[in-house]
Amino acid sequence: MSSTDEEIMEATYRVLVESGYSDLSIRRIADEFDGSQSLIYYHYDDKEDLLAGFLAYMLDSFERELAATEADDPVDRLRAVVELIIPQRENPEHLSFQQTLEEIRTQTPYHDRYRDQFDELDARLASELEATIRRGLDDGTFVGVDPTEAADRLIILMIGVTARYVPMRDWDGLERGQAVVEREIESWQRE
Amino acid sequence: MSSTDEEIMEATYRVLVESGYSDLSIRRIADEFDGSQSLIYYHYDDKEDLLAGFLAYMLDSFERELAATEADDPVDRLRAVVELIIPQRENPEHLSFQQTLEEIRTQTPYHDRYRDQFDELDARLASELEATIRRGLDDGTFVGVDPTEAADRLIILMIGVTARYVPMRDWDGLERGQAVVEREIESWQRE
């Protein structure tokens, strides 16, 4: 990725965090990184092309964050992954960004290229969770859990908590939702 | 509600099912019900006012559907409520409509009036589920469940399943998600 590309992606991130998906435009991104609109059009065909590129860039950064997660213990590792997805009320930037990602997810029926990126993201997330749960079963941390099913269930809970409470700005609800996810992980542990 | 109002609401429903929230406009709604745009503006100030009215209309219709649910057995009643929220793959109209509702839910940070309607919808749904779970505890169908927490968890799962699979058009995933919800309800039952 060229440094201009990188700057465009970072500017896109800032615009999304500041004003959400519906206000995203090539003009706003150009303003944000002090470049010209024509420079952006040199790199991307249109807004859809740019946003599909941005989602791929986010997937790469999610991969790097997963790789940088040092927690080795299966429970700690699951908690670390949960924190990458469900934003904390103390972190307004992550709240806004996950809010925007949910907005874009609802646009996937109209944009196949966005859908492909979310497919990859969900698959990557599922395989990470499944591998961690499997390791927890092997080392005796977890007991009596089907790893595929439990990973699926955890993703549904994480998306449910984010989609239900974050757009509504319901921070008490968000904390209750986080506790639901925490109890789910606890329920897999050997008594 | 006047019959013109009712016609406007029905036309709004059809436009949302056909083309989603982002394509919604007063013009499209006027075309859909063979009325004029000025007739719509006589009833509603603008698109936001109309959509807030539409969400209230949907809440009323959700109330009527709940009241019409004849299932008396707590498990059957929970299943009936779940079916009002999570669409079946065989029902394209319900799939499109729930897809659109999720789109509008992600717009609540920018529209307080939409947020108020979703707040009411979620509260109504939570109280219905909680009352049903409580009844199941009283008659011995369920055991060892906290009704408030279980209702919360069920709503998170329902929104998670809808938000994860419906926009992605992942019908196999949708069925797996429905099975997750079904197993959740089963887990509350006396062995």
- A61: enclosing H helix or E strand: helix A47-68
pLDDT for the residue numbered B147: 97
Q: Phi and psi (nearest 5°) for A22?
A: -70, -20
For residue B109, the chain A residues in CB contact (below 8 A) are 20, 99, 167, 169
Cβ–Cβ pairs < 8 A, chains A and B: 103
> What is the pLDDT of chain A when averaged over all its residues?
94
pLDDT confidence band for A134 (50 / 70 / 90):
very high
Closest Cα of chain A to B161: distance in Å? 6
pLDDT confidence band for B22 (50 / 70 / 90):
confident
Q: Under an 8 A CB cutoff, do B164 and A155 touch?
A: yes
- Paired residues of B142 in beta bridges: B189
pLDDT confidence band for A137 (50 / 70 / 90):
very high
pLDDT for the residue numbered B2: 82
Tell me which of A106, A172, A184 to substitute to probe the interface with B (most B C-beta atoms closer than 10 Å): A106
Answer yes or no: is pLDDT of A190 > 90: no
Q: Under an 8 A CB cutoff, do A108 and B168 touch?
A: yes
Answer yes or no: is pLDDT of A79 > 90: yes
pLDDT for the residue numbered B189: 94
Closest Cα of chain A to B30: distance in Å? 23
Q: Under an 8 A CB cutoff, do A168 and B107 touch?
A: no
Q: Please give the structure tokens belonging to residue B140.
A: 């011995």
Residue among A106, A153, A176 whose CB faces B102 most closely: A106
pLDDT confidence band for B94 (50 / 70 / 90):
very high
B64-71 long-range CB contacts below 8 Å, 24 or more apart? B66/B124, B66/B128
Average pLDDT over residues A11-24: 92
- pLDDT tens-digit series, residues A103-130: 999 999 999 999 999 999 999 999 999 9
pLDDT for the residue numbered A61: 92
Answer yes or no: is pLDDT of B191 > 80: no
Q: Please give the structure tokens belonging to residue B190.
A: 């006396």
Answer yes or no: is pLDDT of B124 > 80: yes
Closest Cα of chain B to A170: distance in Å? 10
Q: Under an 8 A CB cutoff, do A169 and B118 touch?
A: no
Lowest average pLDDT, out of A65-69, A131-135, B41-45, B120-124, goes to A65-69
pLDDT for the residue numbered A74: 96
The most distant pair of C-alpha atoms in chain B lies apart, rounded to whole Å, by 61
- pLDDT tens-digit series, residues B47-89: 999 999 999 999 999 999 998 988 889 999 999 999 999 999 9
pLDDT for the residue numbered A113: 96
- pLDDT tens-digit series, residues B141-161: 999 999 999 999 999 999 999
For residue B167, the chain A residues in CB contact (below 8 A) are 105-109, 115
Q: Phi and psi (nearest 5°) for B188?
A: -85, -10
Answer yes or no: is pLDDT of A35 > 90: no
% of chain B beyond a pLDDT of 90: 90
pLDDT confidence band for A23 (50 / 70 / 90):
confident
pLDDT confidence band for A71 (50 / 70 / 90):
confident
Answer yes or no: is pLDDT of A34 > 90: no
Q: Under an 8 A CB cutoff, do B163 and A103 touch?
A: no
Q: Under an 8 A CB cutoff, do A161 and B156 touch?
A: yes
Closest Cα of chain A to B2: distance in Å? 31
Average pLDDT over residues B81-107: 94
pLDDT for the residue numbered B71: 87
Q: How far apart are CA A70 and CA A80, in angstroms?
A: 9
- B105: enclosing H helix or E strand: helix B92-106
Q: Are A106 and A167 in contact (CB under 8 A)?
A: no
pLDDT for the residue numbered A150: 96
Among candidate residues A49, A43, A13, A45, the one with its CA nearest the CA of residue A29: A13
Tell me which of A156, A159, A185 to substitute to probe the interface with B (most B C-beta atoms closer than 10 Å): A156
Closest Cα of chain A to B104: distance in Å? 9
Report ipTM (2 d.p.). Answer: 0.93
Question: What's the CA dihedral at B103, A165, A85, A57 to 10 degrees?
Answer: 30
pLDDT for the residue numbered B150: 96
Among candidate residues A105, A125, A123, A122, the one with its CA nearest the CA of residue A114: A105
